Amino acid sequence: MSELGLIFDIKKYSINDGPGIRTTVFFQGCPLTCQWCHNPESQPNKPVLLYRANRCVLCGACAEVCPQHAITLNGSADTDRKSCKTCGSCAETCYNGARELSGCETSVEQVMSEVLRDTPFYEGSGGGVTFSGGEPLLQPRFLLELLCACRAHDLHTVVDTSGLATWEVIDSLRIYVDLFLFDLKMMDDKRHIEYTGVSNQLILNNLKKLAEAGSNITICIPLIPGINDDGDNLRASGEFIRSLPNITSVEIMGYHDLAAAKYEALGLAYQLKHLSAPDKSEMRRSAGLLEQVGLQVKIS
Amino acid sequence: MLKLLNNNFDGDERSRQLLLNRTPKYGNDDDAADLLMVRVFESYFNSVDGRRNTKGGEYHINMLPTTCHIYFGSVTGATPDGRFAGKPLSEGVSPVQGADQHGPTAVVRSVAKMDQVRTGGTLLNQKFTPQLLDSEEGLNGLVQLVRGYFNLDGHHIQFNVVDAETLKAAQANPEQYRSLIVRVAGYSDYFCDLSNQLQDEIITRTAYDGF
């Protein structure tokens, strides 16, 4: 019997998650709680209910089937999330797709049968499979089986990670990973704890060990205005990256507020409402700071 | 079901929504749905191909009705995919508008299940937003998508790079545009899944992009 994992989406024709045309497999569950997270539904390591009010026609089918009687119609179909047991009955019934359960138990075979369908597009484009999330390293046995299955089919593999896992976990699967997309959020540990909920010590140590072990790594810095795009953080990040063996470049990715609707769909407050996406000149300025320490910078 | 279709779904929007959103649809690389397309294609092909025409030649099949789908739709009753009577049919061999929800590779794999080599030609329309093509990665993706489709014996594919007007229409009638993908800052998503404000933002930006 092969491993089961908790997956919340499989996205085809991904062209921003590594080289070529890729299929991205999104893992449910993350040990970080970054305030800017653009997949907040992926944070809990159990299924969660999304409700998109703009798709709801107030037909009431969900309220009829909810075994907890947790749904009331009142201009929108509100769910009492305290009594909701995320059984998924309402999502199953909602024909308009306003209700959706994020996170579904999936077998290695099920994931692979989806992934292999797009093989004709991986070959020519230099693409393959990306494991993202959520945090894929949070389900290491499931991830390892998937990586081995990809290797057996000669598929290029990318793991998109926050870097937060024990070194033993990373070490056990790194030889099956063709490229790590490794997030570097901020260097100051206090601020890291404040904005992501966890210390960066283990993450930085893992990044150093992974680079020393010779793994292929692309480091990504998400630029969050006023939080980590200051000169101090970017210079410290740049110097840390320069100190790593075999790494001479970094990618920066501008914050976007696409996720606000998801927070609403989850019944959560979005703490970064006041932020707006950095414009081209701000991205250029940040890139310049990283270039000053001798790094090649790609803006994506 | 026949009663439902005869009545043009009158009074049973729930059943129509079930058919629209909860049944497998051609265009998602789902064999259950795609094999129905293959069956229909084969029976159409076999009934027409090679028949004598009035001028002493033979009839052959082309799967490219260009804009006839609007007229054909106007004289076709309600269909069990949730489509109301009189509404347009799909364009050429393209999936029904909004039915393809797994991206362009799934679409071309579905379409390639039809044996296009035996036809005189096919017509497949795809919609992209300018942002999806504004980088080297985006352009390379498009090139490899086309190459992959032709390797699967696809015959023809064309792209509409969608402008702001279309995005406004998508905002007003999301059910017609469920498959529209937009790229925003290193990440792509379905336009209709975004909040109204974000849709507004992308519409504005798209207008500035000059497409």
> Could you tell me the two tokens for A63?
């309220």
Same domain, A65 and A189: no
Same domain, A230 and A155: yes
CATH of the domain at A172: 3.20.20.70
Same domain, A162 and A224: yes
**Is B135 in CB contact (< 8 Å) with chain A?**
yes
Burial A279-299 (b: 16+ CB within 10 A, else e): eeeebeebbebbeebebebee
CATH of the domain at A96: 3.30.70.20
Cβ-Cβ contacts under 8 Å, A124 against chain B: 144, 147-148, 151
Q: Where are the domains of chain B?
A: 1-98, 124-211
pLDDT tens digits, one per residue of A180-230: 999 999 999 999 999 999 999 999 999 999 999 999 999 999 999 999 999
- pLDDT confidence of B209, banded at 50, 70, 90? very low
Q: CB A15 to CB B188 under 8 A?
A: yes
Is the CB of residue A73 less than 8 Å from the CB of residue A63? yes
Same domain, A58 and A122: no
Nearest to A13 among B103, B135, B187 (CB): B103
- pLDDT confidence of B187, banded at 50, 70, 90? low
A64 three-class SS:
helix
Q: Report whether pLDDT(B44) > 90.
A: yes
How far does the CA of residue A168 sit from the closest CA of chain B (Å)? 31
d(C-alpha A95, C-alpha A59), whole Å: 10
**Is B121 in CB contact (< 8 Å) with chain A?**
no
d(C-alpha A45, C-alpha A30), whole Å: 7
How far does the CA of residue B57 sit from the closest CA of chain A (Å)? 39
Residue with tokens 């250029």: A284
Nearest to A120 among B148, B183, B185 (CB): B148
Q: CB A258 to CB B187 under 8 A?
A: yes
Q: CB A13 to CB B137 under 8 A?
A: no
Same domain, A179 and A284: yes
Same domain, A124 and A175: yes
Q: Report whether pLDDT(B210) > 50.
A: no
Mean pLDDT of A110-118: 97
Work out the number of other CB atoms within 10 angstroms of the CB of residue B54: 5
How far does the CA of residue B105 sit from the closest CA of chain A (Å)? 6
When divided into structural domains, chain A yields a total of 2
Same domain, A208 and A235: yes
> Could you tell me the two tokens for B208?
């500035």
Distances (CA, A) of A281 to A228, A277, A299: 16, 12, 11
Where on the phi/psi map is residue A88: left (φ > 0), alpha (ψ -120 to 50), or beta?
Answer: left
Same domain, A137 and A246: yes
Cβ-Cβ contacts under 8 Å, A125 against chain B: 140-141, 144, 148
Domain boundary among A78, A102, A126: A102
The predicted structure's pLDDT at residue B194: 80
Mean pLDDT of A120-127: 92
Give the 3-state DSSP-derived string for chain B, with helices as H, strands as E and coil as C: CHHHHHCCCCCCHHHHHHHHHCCCCCCCCCHHHHHHHHHHHHHHHHHHCCCECCCCCECCCCECCCCHHHHHHHCCCCECCCECCCCCCCCCCCCCCCCCCCHHHHHHHHHCCCCHHHCCCECCEEEECHHHHCCHHHHHHHHHHHHHHHHCCCCCCEEEECCHHHHHHHHHCHHHCCCCEEECCCCEEEHHHCCHHHHHHHHHHHHHCCC
Residue A250 is part of which domain span? 4-45+104-299
The residues, any chain, with a CB within 8 Å of residue B66's CB and separated by 6 or more, are: B92, B123
pLDDT tens digits, one per residue of B119-170: 999 988 887 777 778 888 889 999 999 999 999 999 998 877 777 788 888 8
The backbone torsions φ and ψ at residue A10, rounded to the nearest 5 degrees and listed phi first, read -130, 115
Query: Which is nearest to A94 in space by CA: A64, A120, A62, A72?
Result: A62
**Is A148 in CB contact (< 8 Å) with chain B?**
no
Q: Report whether pLDDT(B184) > 80.
A: no
> Could you tell me the two tokens for B58?
């033979």
pTM for the predicted model, two decimal places: 0.88
Q: How many A-B residue pairs are in contact by the CB < 8 A criterion?
A: 102
Tell how far CA B86 is from the center of its chain.
18
Cβ-Cβ contacts under 8 Å, A16 against chain B: 137, 183, 186-188
Nearest CA in chain A to B14: A95
The predicted structure's pLDDT at residue B169: 87
Cβ-Cβ contacts under 8 Å, B186 against chain A: 16, 253-254, 256, 300
Same domain, A239 and A156: yes
Q: Report whether pLDDT(B38) > 50.
A: yes
- Mean pLDDT, chain A, rounded, equals 94
Same domain, A241 and A273: yes
d(C-alpha B59, C-alpha B211), whole Å: 41
Same domain, A178 and A191: yes
Nearest CA in chain B to A119: B148
Distances (CA, A) of B121 to A184, B93, B153: 50, 10, 11
Cβ-Cβ contacts under 8 Å, A117 against chain B: 29, 105-106, 109
Same domain, A55 and A196: no
The predicted structure's pLDDT at residue B135: 83
